[in-house]
Amino acid sequence: MTQAVNLLHEASELLAHAGIDSAHVDAALLLASVMEVERSALSPFADIPLAEESAFRQLISERAKRIPLQHLTGEAHFRHITLEVGAGVFVPRPETELLVEEGIAALCQHHGVRVAVDLCAGSGAIALSLATEVPHTTVYAVEKSPDAFKWLTRNVEKHQVQLASVSSQVHCIQGDATELSLLANLDGSVDVVLSNPPYIPDEMIPRDPEARDHDPAMALFGGPDGLDVARGVMHVAHQLLKPGGLFGMEHADVQGQSVPALMAESGGWSMIEDHVDYNKLPRFTTALRSVTE
């Protein structure tokens, strides 16, 4: 048997050599996953049994090939929830948490039953965060990809007890988030619409191998300028929202001017504002559906 501290040191060096900035954290999380404990419960001087050591070394080898950490552990942490993720679904990023904060703040201004829509829902990170953090919220989560939809429904089912405890619901809808007729029964009745659509221009290659090689293309690429899906989502959001309702949409860090300009040009929006992420880069735009048009 080998002590955890020695295994972690060796693994961290291997991951760092593979170009992974978070080498030590990733190694610790993978060892914790193998040992079926929280990372904080890992003892550096614990002896790791041979079977677990072998499994850990295999995971480190795969991580060194830039397979996403979340695919290896099978889960992704987002705000206050843990999501199951894997091949076929976009791994939620911390930056999207800031978009969710805006949606939560807007929902909390409403009393009684609150209604929200998550367009391009993926794993359900946005939808489940809104529903679990704001009581009495009904969220409609729309996802087109059959593969991603399986992860979405799995995660919603996993959180049923938590949802019930705050009297919230998440309804999963498989369909095109840019289709105006998909949620036509909700037109003009929604308090908040959030979306993290595909927004990378088709000719742009993602920098990180984890995204380039493992995130589904449907969740990444949004046409020649990256905004084809965003345009459709914007029109759907406008149709769904109550006057004064909030729309928030994530975008690439190079679209901090083009997305607000797109919304201003389309008309029907007020209080258009762009927001930065944790790295102070442009990341998402919010606006209110105009009260008078």
Instruction: Determine the pLDDT at residue 272.
Output: 98
Instruction: Determine the pLDDT at residue 213.
Output: 84
Instruction: Determine the pLDDT at residue 192.
Output: 98
Separation CA 80–CA 286 (nearest Å): 23
Separation CA 32–CA 73 (nearest Å): 9
Q: What is the mean pLDDT of the chain?
A: 94
Q: What is the CATH number of the domain that holds 50?
A: 1.10.8
Q: Which of residues 65, 89, 105 is at a domain's end?
A: 65
Mean pLDDT, to the nearest integer, of 237-264?
Answer: 96
> Whole-prediction pTM value?
0.92
- What tens digit of pLDDT does each residue of 168-186 get? 999 999 999 999 999 999 9
Helices 23-35, 4-17: crossing angle, 10 deg rounding:
130
Provide the 3-class DSSP secondary structure of residue 83.
Answer: strand
Q: Which of residues 65, 87, 109 is at a domain's end?
A: 65
How far from the centroid of its chain's Cα atoms is residue 72's Cα? 18
Taken in order 277, 87, 13, 206, is the CA torsion positive or negative?
negative
Instruction: Determine the pLDDT at residue 142.
Output: 98
Instruction: Determine the pLDDT at residue 7.
Output: 93
Separation CA 127–CA 183 (nearest Å): 16
Asked if 118 and 248 sit in the same domain, the reply is yes
Asked if 170 and 252 sit in the same domain, the reply is yes
Question: 109, 2, 111: which is closest to 60 by C-alpha?
Answer: 2
Instruction: Determine the pLDDT at residue 206.
Output: 84
- What tens digit of pLDDT does each residue of 72-106 get? 999 999 999 999 999 999 999 999 999 999 999 99
Tell me: pLDDT of 202 over 90.
no
Position 220 confidence tier, pLDDT thresholds 50, 70, 90: confident
Asked if 106 and 243 sit in the same domain, the reply is yes
Separation CA 88–CA 101 (nearest Å): 26
| 284 within some domain | yes
Tell me: pLDDT of 6 over 80.
yes
Tell me: pLDDT of 127 over 90.
yes
Instruction: Determine the pLDDT at residue 49.
Output: 93
Residues shown for the chain: 293
Mean pLDDT, to the nearest integer, of 105-119?
Answer: 95
User: By the 8 A CB rule, do 181 and 108 touch?
Assistant: no
Which range (10-14, 140-144, 220-224, 231-235) has the least confidence?
Answer: 220-224
| 70 within some domain | no
Instruction: Determine the pLDDT at residue 204.
Output: 83
Neighbour count for residue 2 (Cβ, 10 Å): 16
Separation CA 246–CA 288 (nearest Å): 5
CA atoms within 13 A on the CB side of 193: 30
| 135 within some domain | yes
Asked if 54 and 167 sit in the same domain, the reply is no
Region of 277 (left: φ > 0; alpha: ψ -120 to 50; beta: rest) is: beta
Q: Which of residues 45, 65, 85 is at a domain's end?
A: 65
Asked if 57 and 80 sit in the same domain, the reply is no
Which range (67-81, 143-157, 209-223) has the least confidence?
Answer: 209-223
Total tally of structural domains belonging to the chain: 2
Instruction: Determine the pLDDT at residue 79.
Output: 96
Instruction: Determine the pLDDT at residue 14.
Output: 95
Position 249 confidence tier, pLDDT thresholds 50, 70, 90: very high
Instruction: Determine the pLDDT at residue 293.
Output: 60
The structure tokens listed for 145 are: 């990809």
Taken in order 97, 258, 108, 159, is the CA torsion positive or negative?
negative
Percent of all residues in the chain with a pLDDT value above 90, rounded to a whole number? 84
What's the domain range around 14?
A: 2-65
Long-range contacts: 216-222, Cβ < 8 Å, 24+? 216/88, 216/89, 216/90, 216/145, 216/147, 216/148, 218/144, 218/145, 218/148, 219/89, 219/90, 219/120, 219/122, 219/145, 219/148, 220/90, 222/197, 222/198
Position 187 confidence tier, pLDDT thresholds 50, 70, 90: very high
Mean pLDDT, to the nearest integer, of 268-279?
Answer: 96
Q: Per-residue b/e over 108-142, b at no fewer than 16 CB within 10 Å? A: eebeeebbbbbbbbbbbbbbbbbbbbbeebbbbbb
State in Å, rounded, how far the first CA of the chain is from the last one: 71
